[in-house]
């Protein structure tokens, strides 16, 4: 099935927020404490995410791309300045797709497109944090990411372990 990639606009914020919370439910069920996951995917969180995405898509330091299928946003990715990756030029903040849209090349296309935009801006390297045990961890490794440390994040319902992945050369990632 075909899809279109494009830069996100403020009008996309509700759809991005919907994909964000829905994909959290679909991906993290059984991988995160239930109470935490419920709070991160409830209606109030979706409203907060809509507000945040409205702001983020207009932030010139960030790249936010959406993938549409039949006019509906089914996946998105965002990146920008690194928050806690010393020596790295950019950070992949998000890459989410609805379960029904997975396995069709959307993630790969979004990741490569984000890498190209970042490279055009002068960035040469990229990092992200991925939840240990998340199936996307291996997906990122197959796309050339390398493990470079980990951290434990304390949430109200317990602790989560995240792994840092790095791409030292965005050129190769953008060619995918």
- The string of pLDDT tens digits covering residues 106-129 is 999 999 999 999 999 999 999 999
In angstroms, the Cα distances linking 12 to 53, 106, 115, 117, 119 are 8, 17, 21, 19, 24
Q: The domain spanning residue 122 has which CATH number?
A: 3.40.630.30
Q: Which structural domain range is residue 24 located in?
A: 4-174
The token pair that represents 62 in the structure block = 């960030």
pLDDT, residue 93, reads 96
pLDDT, residue 6, reads 97
User: What's the domain count of the chain?
Assistant: 1
pLDDT, residue 175, reads 75
User: Do the beta carbons of residue 77 and residue 114 sit within 8 Å?
Assistant: yes
Low-confidence spans in the chain with pLDDT less than 70: 1, 26-43, 46, 155-157, 176
pLDDT, residue 75, reads 96
Q: Which of 54, 57, 28 is nearest to 130 (CA)?
A: 28
Cα–Cα distance for residue pair 57/149, rounded to 1 Å: 29
User: Do the beta carbons of residue 125 and residue 89 sit within 8 Å?
Assistant: yes
Dihedral angle sign, alpha carbons of residues 127, 130, 146, 78: negative
Stated pTM of the model: 0.87
């Amino acid at each position: 099935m075909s899809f279109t990639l494009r830069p996100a606009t403020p009008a996309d914020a509700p759809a991005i927020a919907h994909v964000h919370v829905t994909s959290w439910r679909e991906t993290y069920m059984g991988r995160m404490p239930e109470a935490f996951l419920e709070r991160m995917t409830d209606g109030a969180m979706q409203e907060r995410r809509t507000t945040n995405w409205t702001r983020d898509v207009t932030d010139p330091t960030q790249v936010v791309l959406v993938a549409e299928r039949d006019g509906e946003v089914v996946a998105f990715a965002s990146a920008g300045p690194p928050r806690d990756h010393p020596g790295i030029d950019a950070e992949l903040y998000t890459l989410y797709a609805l379960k029904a849209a997975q396995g069709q090349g959307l993630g790969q296309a979004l990741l490569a497109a984000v890498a190209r935009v970042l490279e055009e801006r002068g960035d040469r390297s990229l990092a992200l944090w991925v939840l240990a045990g998340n199936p996307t961890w291996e997906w990122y490794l197959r796309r050339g990411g390398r493990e470079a440390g980990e951290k434990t994040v304390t949430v109200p319902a317990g602790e989560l372990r995240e792994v840092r992945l790095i791409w030292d050369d965005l050129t190769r990632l953008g060619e995918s």
